[in-house]
């Protein structure tokens, strides 16, 4: 969980990481040591799954917004389970 929190936090704060993520999300997440389930959940924008797994809701929200997901859509995805 620590690596996932660190990745989402740094994605928001580090422009170089954000650029790497946009260019090659799979490799960037692997470089952070994220496991297959974490990678899949991020790629599918399954914020509900990540939230239920224990990701800090504020870090998750800001990570989602930085991935281009509007806040309202983020809230809907968390509530709906998708």
Under DSSP, the state recorded for 70 is: -
Question: Which residue reads 């999300």 in tokens?
Answer: 25
- Please write the tens of the pLDDT for every residue from 14-64: 999 999 999 999 999 999 999 999 999 999 999 999 999 999 999 999 999
Question: What is the spatial distance between Cα 36 and Cα 16, in angstroms, rounded to a whole number?
Answer: 23
Q: Which domain holds residue 64?
A: 2-80
Please state the pTM of the whole predicted model: 0.85
| CB contact set of 79 (below 8 Å; sequence gap of 6+) | 48
Structurally, how many domains does the chain consist of?
1
Confidence of residue 1 (pLDDT cuts 50, 70, 90): confident
CATH for 58 = 1.10.700.10
């Amino acid at each position: 969980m620590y690596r996932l929190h660190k990745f989402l936090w740094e994605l928001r704060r580090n422009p170089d990481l954000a650029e790497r993520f946009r260019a090659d999300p799979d490799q960037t997440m692997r470089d952070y040591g994220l496991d297959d389930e974490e990678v899949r959940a991020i790629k599918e924008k399954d914020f509900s799954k990540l939230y239920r797994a224990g990701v800090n809701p504020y870090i998750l929200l800001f990570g989602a917004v930085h991935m281009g997901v509007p806040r309202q859509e983020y809230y809907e995805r968390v509530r709906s389970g998708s």
